[in-house]
């Protein structure tokens, strides 16, 4: 049964509210919530189920542009971004983000949710075990940084996420202060999201079953609804972070992600 436009737009707004609070409270990327939610919501809006996963991934990356860029600007003002590192990582994450969007066209549709589920399970495991990497290695050369950025970009684009769950531990492992690792990750996430979104727009332009109000694999009503409220509620989450037991909540959220990842992986 299809929902009317305003009913489903209200659900996009509600989703964005939850994403914003969780992002501000736990520092997690919204894509981990947005993608599975949109995979369920988009068919209710009449989106063809054969392209629902591509639409969910592309739209998720588009929403991340707004949330990550806002975070990145704040971190830049605070001096929490290692500009030299970003210059080395940028070529890799941009190319990787674009390649990831292209790979979704090559992977059979029925396997995309399974791939997303597997990535979510791995990220949830890292979060659940609270894995902490100590600085045991020197910073790699610019070429190796670019290659690492490429891997992060591909995985992030395939999962419709900003890649903070990958970038922050990677930078921390190589001796970057945690605040600067988070700040630099937010800027990398913006670059990944932009590159991935462009890829989903280009690759989706030739699809013949696109819904109205879409640009390639970006569904504009969902993008607007999620972005509007998520940008507003990140401040709420940030305030709650100082009053609630964030480490415990993060582990509870990780258990929730295990459930979501398992469900998508098993179909």
- Tokens at 3, concatenated: 């929902």
User: How far is residue 49 from each of residues 52, 106, 161, 166, 226, measured CA to CA in Å?
Assistant: 5, 17, 21, 29, 20
User: Do the Cβ atoms of 86 and 187 come closer than 8 Å?
Assistant: yes
Kind and range of the H or E run holding 215? strand 214-215
- The DSSP line for 35-78 is HHHHHHHHHHTT--TTTHHHHHHHHHHHHHHHHHHHHHHHHHHT
The backbone torsions φ and ψ at residue 107, rounded to the nearest 5 degrees and listed phi first, read -80, 130
List per-residue pLDDT tens for the chain, 267 residues long.
677 899 999 999 999 999 888 877 776 767 889 999 999 999 999 999 999 999 999 999 999 998 888 778 878 888 888 999 999 999 999 999 999 999 998 999 899 999 999 999 998 887 777 655 555 678 899 999 999 999 999 999 999 998 888 898 888 888 888 788 888 988 999 999 999 999 999 999 988 899 999 999 999 999 999 999 988 888 787 777 678 786 788 788 888 889 999 999 987
Match 């990550």 to its residue by tokens: 68
End-to-end CA distance of the chain: 21
Rg (CA), the chain: 17
- Tokens at 118, concatenated: 């597997």
What residue segments make up the domains of the chain, in order of their start?
Answer: 5-266
| H helical segments located in the chain | 5-26, 31-44, 52-77, 83-106, 112-128, 142-159, 164-173, 178-204, 220-241, 246-266
User: Do the Cβ atoms of 180 and 16 come closer than 8 Å?
Assistant: no
């Amino acid at each position: 049964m299809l929902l009317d436009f305003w009913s489903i737009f209200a659900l996009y707004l509600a989703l964005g509210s939850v994403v914003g609070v969780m992002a501000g409270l736990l520092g997690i990327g919204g894509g981990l919530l947005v993608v599975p939610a949109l995979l369920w919501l988009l068919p209710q809006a009449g989106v063809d189920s054969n392209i629902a996963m591509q639409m969910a991934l592309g739209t998720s990356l588009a929403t991340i542009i707004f949330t990550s860029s806002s975070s990145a600007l704040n971190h830049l003002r605070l001096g929490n971004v290692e500009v030299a590192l970003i210059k080395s990582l940028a070529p890799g994450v941009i190319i990787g983000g674009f390649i990831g969007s292209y790979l979704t066209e090559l992977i059979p549709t029925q396997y995309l949710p399974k791939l997303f589920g597997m990535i979510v399970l791995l990220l949830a495991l890292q979060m659940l075990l609270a894995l902490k990497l100590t600085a045991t290695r020197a910073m790699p050369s610019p070429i190796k940084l670019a290659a690492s950025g490429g891997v992060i970009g591909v995985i992030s684009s395939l999962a419709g996420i900003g890649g903070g769950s990958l970038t922050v531990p990677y930078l921390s492992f190589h001796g970057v202060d945690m605040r600067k690792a988070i700040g630099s990750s937010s800027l990398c996430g913006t670059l990944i999201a932009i590159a991935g979104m462009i890829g989903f727009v280009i690759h989706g332009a030739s699809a013949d079953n696109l819904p109205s109000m879409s640009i390639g694999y970006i569904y504009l009503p969902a993008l607007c609804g999620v972005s509007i409220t998520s940008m507003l509620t990140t401040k709420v989450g940030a305030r709650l972070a100082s009053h609630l037991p964030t480490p415990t909540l993060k582990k509870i959220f990780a258990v929730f992600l295990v459930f979501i990842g398992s469900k998508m992986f098993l179909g």
